């Protein structure tokens, strides 16, 4: 199969020698995402020529036992069949080190293991630390890495170090600020890579190219031509085995604060100085979030809708309501669906409504960004058999089918003047002839190369939490109702009512 990262003769350069340490390597994330991504990078010949990965965890395992476990995980979750000869070569670079995150001495042993392997191979490595642990361990890992001499410093023998932090990054503004402060005690901001796998998806990355490499769209990308924007992150699954975590967070913290706002900020940014300068892109993203209108607490009820799913049917199967899910607290008011009306108060977007929604147990899994352009005047068609002219709609589908479509109006065949919508679209699989790489493959490669473009900076994280702070404050009172919606529906009626005053409707997905 052709390499999805190939770029003709200008192939991506391999990263420098890297030692990657995965904290929480016996967990689900490493099994489903990280190790399969590393294997696929190995098959595509994009891993560094000198590379090793050390998994850590409290379970006592030998290198051989860990390799066997990883072989099974890659076989089950890789996007393509595992080739025996490639795995054989790749697995020689996989090691395991038992480690208790709370034991400083274990981090010293980790350092000694890394130094021993480096000496044996005659290499000086960059160190990449991946925090695939529960969020409450993030600070302790960073602190103990610093105490063990595993953060970059003069004379350490380490060329550079980076710390990759998974979401959730805090649960509110105060906790996010505290975590940022803790991480920066051992690592500089430029070394901290806050990962959001949505930004590794091809279609999300393509937003910048689509806007700035096509002269026909950027002139229209403003309040003069855009009627409104919708962003939908819909899942047909329930909480599954994540009920314990999800019941403490809800869909607002789990999806909106990170994935959804990240996509929206990319969609609405001003042109950065350069697409090759990570901070010039991240500067513009922060400006978008900072420009989003803050709600007063008393406005939250009229600008947001929160809800929980009740028993219903998904694909013909009867499923439990949220309060019936195992692990959910009795009487929980946690949101499994949220809809909001936002506005960006800057010169480009002032007055353009932005509607966002995210939910579980909806009819299907789909993530889509939709831009509605203003309707043209209808006077030209007066007296003809023309109903109301529809919006031109640009739809960017992030998953499951990655692609972009544009709805335009056209004359239907025949002697009469009839206007009908026509959709022009492309998908990555059909247009480029290769499947999209998994998001983690791109993000891990960028982390090894030191490219921070697709990783979130501390100020953007804090601005996103600041935006939502009044919402959480209002929701903590009894003044904002928790609506219900039947599993398999598109959410509560109140979500449709949120758009009605502006004459808009949710897009049919």
| Residue 391 known to be catalytic | no
The answer to whether the beta carbons of residues 269 and 261 sit under 8 Å apart is no
Bridge partner list, 420: 410
Q: How far apart, in whole angstroms, are the C-alpha atoms of residue 371 and residue 497?
A: 20
The one-character DSSP state at 154 is: T
161 is written with which tokens? 């170090």
| Among candidate residues 494, 508, 492, 489, the one with its CA nearest the CA of residue 313 | 489
b/e 456-475 (16+ beta carbons within 10 angstroms → b): bbbbbbbbbbbbbbbbbebb
For 144, other C-beta atoms within 10 Å of its C-beta total 23
Residue 277 to residues 167, 202, 262, 454, Cα–Cα distance (Å): 24, 19, 18, 11
b/e 261-275 (16+ beta carbons within 10 angstroms → b): bbbbbbbbbeebeee
Q: How far apart, in whole angstroms, are the C-alpha atoms of residue 332 and residue 335?
A: 9
The answer to whether the beta carbons of residues 318 and 311 sit under 8 Å apart is yes
313 is written with which tokens? 């049917």
| Among candidate residues 318, 322, 354, the one with its CA nearest the CA of residue 337 | 322
| Among candidate residues 69, 93, 91, the one with its CA nearest the CA of residue 19 | 93
The answer to whether the beta carbons of residues 59 and 26 sit under 8 Å apart is yes
For 501, other C-beta atoms within 10 Å of its C-beta total 10
Q: How far apart, in whole angstroms, are the C-alpha atoms of residue 99 and residue 105?
A: 9
Identified catalytic residue from 31, 197, 228, 259: 259
The DSSP string of 397-414 is: EEESS-EEEEEEEEEPSS
Q: How far apart, in whole angstroms, are the C-alpha atoms of residue 74 and residue 77?
A: 5
Q: How many separate helices (H) and strands (E) can be counted in the chain? A: 16, 17
Q: How far apart, in whole angstroms, are the C-alpha atoms of residue 218 and residue 221?
A: 5
389 is written with which tokens? 């002219």
Q: How far apart, in whole angstroms, are the C-alpha atoms of residue 444 and residue 5?
A: 13
Q: Decide: residue 276, CB within 10 A, 0-12 exposed, 13-18 middle, 19+ buried.
A: exposed
> Which positions are catalytic?
259
């Amino acid at each position: 199969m052709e390499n999805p990262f190939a770029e003709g003769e200008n192939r991506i350069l391999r990263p420098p020698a890297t030692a990657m340490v995965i904290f929480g390597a016996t967990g689900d994330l490493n099994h489903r995402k990280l190790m399969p991504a590393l294997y696929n990078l190995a098959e595509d010949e994009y891993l560094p020529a000198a590379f090793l990965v050390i998994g850590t965890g409290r379970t006592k395992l030998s290198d051989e036992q860990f390799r066997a476990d990883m072989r099974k995980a890659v076989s089950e979750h890789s996007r393509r069949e595992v080739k025996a000869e490639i795995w054989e070569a790749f697995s020689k670079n996989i090691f395991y080190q038992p480690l208790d995150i709370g034991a400083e001495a274990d981090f010293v042993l980790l350092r000694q293991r890394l130094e021993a392997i480096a000496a044996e191979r005659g290499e000086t490595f960059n160190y990449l630390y991946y925090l695939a642990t529960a969020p409450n361990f993030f600070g302790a890992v960073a602190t103990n890495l610093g105490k063990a001499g595993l953060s970059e410093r003069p004379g350490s023998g380490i060329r550079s170090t980076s710390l990759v932090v998974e979401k959730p990054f805090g649960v509110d503004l105060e906790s996010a600020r505290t975590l940022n402060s803790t991480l920066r005690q051992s690592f500089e901001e430029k070394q901290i890579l806050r990962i959001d796998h949505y930004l590794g998806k091809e279609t999300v990355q393509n937003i910048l190219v689509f806007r700035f490499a096509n002269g026909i769209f950027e002139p229209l990308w403003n309040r003069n031509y855009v009627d409104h924007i919708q962003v939908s992150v819909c899942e047909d699954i329930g909480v599954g085995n994540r009920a314990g975590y999800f019941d403490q967070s809800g869909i607002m913290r789990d999806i909106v604060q990170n994935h959804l706002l990240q996509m929206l900020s990319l969609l609405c940014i001003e042109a950065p100085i350069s697409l090759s300068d990570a901070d010039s892109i991240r500067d513009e993203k922060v400006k978008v979030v900072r420009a989003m209108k803050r709600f007063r607490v008393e406005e939250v009820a009229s600008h947001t809708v929160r809800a929980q799913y009740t028993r219903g049917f998904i694909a013909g199967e009867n499923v439990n309501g949220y309060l019936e899910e195992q692990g959910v607290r009795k009487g929980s008011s946690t949101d499994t669906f949220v809809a909001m009306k936002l506005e960006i108060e800057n010169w480009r977007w002032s007055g353009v409504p932005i509607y966002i929604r995210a939910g579980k147990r909806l009819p299907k899994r789909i993530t889509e960004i939709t831009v509605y352009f203003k309707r043209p005047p209808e006077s030209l068609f007066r007296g003809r058999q023309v109903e109301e002219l529809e919006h031109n709609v640009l739809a960017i589908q992030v998953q499951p089918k990655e692609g972009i479509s544009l709805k335009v109006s056209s004359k239907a065949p025949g002697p009469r003047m009839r206007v009908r919508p026509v959709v022009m679209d492309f998908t990555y699989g059909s247009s480029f002839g290769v499947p999209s790489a998994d998001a983690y493959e791109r993000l891990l490669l960028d982390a090894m190369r030191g490219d921070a473009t697709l990783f979130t900076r501390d100020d953007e994280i804090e601005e996103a939490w600041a935006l939502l702070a009044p919402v959480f404050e209002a929701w903590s009172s009894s003044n904002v109702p928790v609506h219900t919606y039947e599993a398999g529906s598109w959410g509560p009626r109140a979500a449709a009512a949120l758009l009605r005053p502006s004459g808009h409707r949710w897009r049919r997905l």
